[in-house]
A and B are shown apart, each in its own frame.
Chain A
Amino acid sequence: MAAAALLAAIVLACLLAPLYAADIAGTDPFASNLDGTITLAGQPVEIMQSAATGFGVTPIGPTWHAQYFLGADDQGRDVAARLLYGGRTSLLIAAGATLICLSGAALVGVIAGFAGGIVDTILARALDILWAFPVYLLAISLSAVLISHGLQLGPVSINADSLLIPIAIIGIVYIPYVARPIRGQVIGLAQSDFVLAARCLGIPRPRILLRDILPNIATTLIVFAPLMLALNMLTEAALSFLTIGVQPPAASWGTIILDGEGLLYTRPMVAIAPGIAIALTVVALNFLGDGIREAFDPRAKLRINK
């Protein structure tokens, strides 16, 4: 329950960011603000402060006030506001990727398991091969290629900096993880007594699929959903940190950690805050996932490989 409440709070705070974050921060979280000043305790304070050594500038640290609550990054942008916008991006990517992954896995798993024969052999073999191909290597290959020049597929054209690229890549690479157990389950269901009975009654196959197979698959998908969301959050952060996920000027929790890398020893809050946000969200999702799994299927033996 606490996990669900925490998750709801994070999701709401981030999704509604465009409504309030920039107003509270008083600056545009996506525009650099290298010459600005803010007023703290009646004193004007520069956002980019000259270093004591006289070389270079250091962004302002956490003020713990509405403006620059967590300080500024190396562009003088409000980290707290960027954190909220970034969370929005991270959550949207995780949710979109989960949707793609689960529907893709359901499609592949159900077709393979229900069709049987040569279709099943081909699909199962393809899943085996993808399974042997580590997720991050596949994700890195796809991201590097797509981010270099975007995608042009017939009438569909996706820009290199589109959020659709990380969403699609993260969604696709995890399909085998979900599709394999679903295929197994469908094969089991197709041989079960109630499906056999339905077939003996002459009920057409599409209807069996819809009425008998899919409702049983739905449970598996629900159990997988929070776990995939958690995994996708971490994958997005990792890809963005490697500069092949979310592309600037857009921000995500992963890119903000990357922004903070150069400021780690002077303004650690820039890198630390998004990490804590990711950890909180993923812990909450995993707790929720454990709870849902126990509620639906106490003897489940699902294993999500990292």
Chain B
Amino acid sequence: MIALVLLRRLGEMVFVLFSISVLVFLIFFATPGADPAARLAGRGASPATLAAVRHAFGLDRPLPVQYALMMRHLFITQDLTSFVNPGQRVVPALLQAVPVTLSLVLGAAVIWLVLAVLVGVTAAACRDTIVDRALMFLSLLGVSIPVFWLGEVANLITQARFHDTWAFSWVPALGYVPLTQDPLGWFKSLVIPWLVLAVTYVGLYARILRANLVDAMTEDYIRTARAKGLSERQIILRHALRMSLITIVSMFGLDFGALVGGGALLIEVVSSLPGVGMLTYQALQNLDLPFIMAAVLYGAVFIVAANTAVDMLYTLLDPRTRPTR
């Protein structure tokens, strides 16, 4: 029974991935307005490049054949090349950048989960007091600040204005240090980007967690817990928080997937971290469409797979999410 449900989820995943790939294909190859070869080759391409693009993607053949060719270049032979930087293989370049992005997102995720639970629980415990209002205002500020701007302000403070003071003299120059090469350097190079990336999510999660907790406090099982004589602290931590964490965990699956799939690109750009997002950004600067297409599709595959994994985990853990018939 459970195996069947899980299989169905996998089937759905394949369907969604297929649909997304068709959608991306249509955006890049069939948007009306210009010859797709001219788009894919980048600005001001030579006739020879255009001919190479037409040949590589079979642009004189019917759309389904073009789709199959593109998928083969992307996932099977993985030999999709950029026409703006001739000879650059797109897929290996992307895969090489994954550890950087993972380092960034994983560290930020730890920070934002811990801080969001702290802020959310504190605000809910002190609800309608000045503490609650201050924390919720800060959270609102967190979700309202553009993350790339915050990154620039952080650079300004830690790299220039206050770099010579004791507070920030330890911050290394912008860039990435591989974990395997120098663990301490890796940590130092990522602390500021972690914090900047975490700000939005601390705000978002704390707001939702607080709302959930305040809602949960009116539920019957909380009244029962009170009647049993549990302390307010035990009620919040043991009972209310446990239920609210379900929402947080499912949000976390989505957000984590989206960030690793390329959503961290803004912060990678301002912090000069050579991750997947940075490569996408460079491709955007030259309008190197094959590269962008590959980044988008690989990102989408990762995200959809991550979501499916979270879904399946849920089905295993929580019987209520299993479809009843």
A interface, CB within 8 angstroms of B: 128-129, 132-134, 136-137, 140-142, 144-154, 157-158, 230, 234, 237-238, 241-244, 254, 257, 260-261, 264-265, 268, 271-272, 274-275, 278-279, 282-283, 286-287, 303, 305-306
| With A237-B146, A238-B148, A243-B285 as contacts: A272 and B39 at CB distance below 8 Å | no
| With A144-B292, A145-B28 as contacts: A271 and B141 at CB distance below 8 Å | no
Q: Which residue of A lies closest to B254 (CB)?
A: A305
Q: Is the CB–CB distance between B143 and A306 below 8 Å?
A: yes
Q: How far is the CA of A291 from the CA of B303 in the complex (A)?
A: 34
| With A257-B149, A275-B146 as contacts: A150 and B299 at CB distance below 8 Å | no
Q: How far is the CA of A206 from the CA of B58 in the complex (A)?
A: 48
Interface residues of B in 27-43 (CB under 8 A from A): 27-28, 31-34, 38-39, 42-43
Q: Is the CB–CB distance between B144 and A279 below 8 Å?
A: yes
| With A140-B280, A147-B287 as contacts: A129 and B20 at CB distance below 8 Å | yes
Q: Is the CB–CB distance between B266 and A148 below 8 Å?
A: no
| With A242-B281, A278-B146 as contacts: A306 and B293 at CB distance below 8 Å | no
A-B contacts besides A153-B32, A279-B144, 5 pairs, CB < 8 Å: A149-B38, A237-B149, A257-B146, A283-B141, A306-B200
| With A133-B20, A271-B152 as contacts: A279 and B141 at CB distance below 8 Å | yes
Q: Which residue of A lies closest to B19 (CB)?
A: A129
Count of A-B contacts with CB under 8 A? 154
B contact residues around A136 at 8 Å (CB)? 258, 262-263, 265
Q: How far is the CA of A242 from the CA of B270 in the complex (A)?
A: 11
Q: Which residue of B lies closest to A261 (CB)?
A: B152
What does the 1/0 interface line of B185-209 toward A look like (CB < 8 Å)? 0000000000000001100100010
Instruction: Identify 27 residue pairs between A and B in the complex whose beta-carbon atoms are under 8 Å apart, listed by A's number.
Output: A129-B16, A132-B300, A132-B307, A133-B20, A133-B23, A134-B263, A134-B299, A136-B265, A137-B296, A140-B284, A141-B24, A145-B27, A145-B28, A145-B289, A152-B34, A153-B32, A157-B33, A234-B144, A242-B266, A268-B156, A275-B149, A275-B150, A279-B149, A282-B144, A282-B145, A286-B140, A287-B140
Q: How far is the CA of A146 from the CA of B31 in the complex (A)?
A: 8
Query: B160 on the interface (CB 8 Å rule)?
Result: yes
Q: Is the CB–CB distance between A134 and B144 below 8 Å?
A: no
Q: How far is the CB of A122 from chain B (nearest CB, A)?
A: 12
B contact residues around A154 at 8 Å (CB)? 32
Query: B63 on the interface (CB 8 Å rule)?
Result: no
Q: How far is the CA of A304 from the CA of B78 in the complex (A)?
A: 36
CB < 8 Å: which of B32, B39, B43, B300 contacts A134?
A: B300
Q: How far is the CA of A215 from the CA of B258 in the complex (A)?
A: 35
Q: Is the CB–CB distance between B262 and A137 below 8 Å?
A: yes
Q: How far is the CA of A268 from the CA of B159 in the complex (A)?
A: 13
Q: Is the CB–CB distance between B34 and A149 below 8 Å?
A: yes
Q: How far is the CB of A70 from chain B (nearest CB, A)?
A: 15
What does the 1/0 interface line of B239-270 toward A look like (CB < 8 Å)? 00000000000010011001001110110011
| With A132-B307, A137-B262, A303-B208 as contacts: A152 and B284 at CB distance below 8 Å | no
A contact residues around B262 at 8 Å (CB)? 134, 136-137, 140
A contact residues around B251 at 8 Å (CB)? 305
Identify which of A144, A244, A254 gathers the most chain B CB atoms within 10 Å of its CB. A144
| With A129-B23, A133-B23, A242-B284 as contacts: A265 and B160 at CB distance below 8 Å | yes
CB < 8 Å: which of A148, A230, A261, A265 contacts B144?
A: A230
Q: How far is the CB of B29 from chain A (nearest CB, A)?
A: 9
Q: How far is the CA of A153 from the CA of B201 in the complex (A)?
A: 39
B contact residues around A137 at 8 Å (CB)? 261-263, 296, 299-300
Q: Which residue of B lies closest to A237 (CB)?
A: B146
Query: B155 on the interface (CB 8 Å rule)?
Result: yes
Chain B contact residues: helix, strand, loop or mixed:
helix
Q: How far is the CB of A153 from chain B (nearest CB, A)?
A: 5
Q: How far is the CA of A142 from the CA of B150 in the complex (A)?
A: 26
B contact residues around A141 at 8 Å (CB)? 24, 27-28, 292-293, 296
Q: Which residue of A lies closest to B283 (CB)?
A: A144
B contact residues around A153 at 8 Å (CB)? 32-33
Query: B153 on the interface (CB 8 Å rule)?
Result: yes
Query: B304 on the interface (CB 8 Å rule)?
Result: yes
Q: How far is the CB of B284 from chain A (nearest CB, A)?
A: 6
Q: How far is the CA of A154 from the CA of B27 in the complex (A)?
A: 17
Q: How far is the CA of A257 from the CA of B146 in the complex (A)?
A: 10
Q: Is the CB–CB distance between B148 and A257 below 8 Å?
A: yes
4 A-B pairs with the lowest CB-CB distances in the bound complex, closest first = A149-B34, A275-B149, A152-B33, A282-B144
Q: Is the CB–CB distance between B159 and A265 below 8 Å?
A: yes
What does the 1/0 interface line of B284-325 toward A look like (CB < 8 Å)? 110101001100100110011001000000000000000000
Q: Which residue of B lies closest to A281 (CB)?
A: B144
A contact residues around B304 at 8 Å (CB)? 132
Q: Is the CB–CB distance between B149 and A278 below 8 Å?
A: yes
Q: How far is the CB of B5 from chain A (nearest CB, A)?
A: 17
Q: How far is the CA of A126 from the CA of B300 in the complex (A)?
A: 16
Q: Which residue of A lies closest to B303 (CB)?
A: A134
B contact residues around A279 at 8 Å (CB)? 141, 144-146, 149
Q: How far is the CB of A270 from chain B (nearest CB, A)?
A: 11
B contact residues around A148 at 8 Å (CB)? 34, 38-39, 42-43, 287, 289
CB < 8 Å: which of A129, A133, A142, A149 contacts B33?
A: A149
Q: How far is the CA of A286 from the CA of B159 in the complex (A)?
A: 32
Q: How far is the CA of A184 from the CA of B265 in the complex (A)?
A: 33
Q: Is the CB–CB distance between B261 and A241 below 8 Å?
A: no
Q: Is the CB–CB distance between A238 and B28 below 8 Å?
A: no
Q: How far is the CB of A46 from chain B (nearest CB, A)?
A: 24
Q: Which residue of B lies closest to A234 (CB)?
A: B146
CB < 8 Å: which of B254, B261, B287 contacts A144?
A: B287
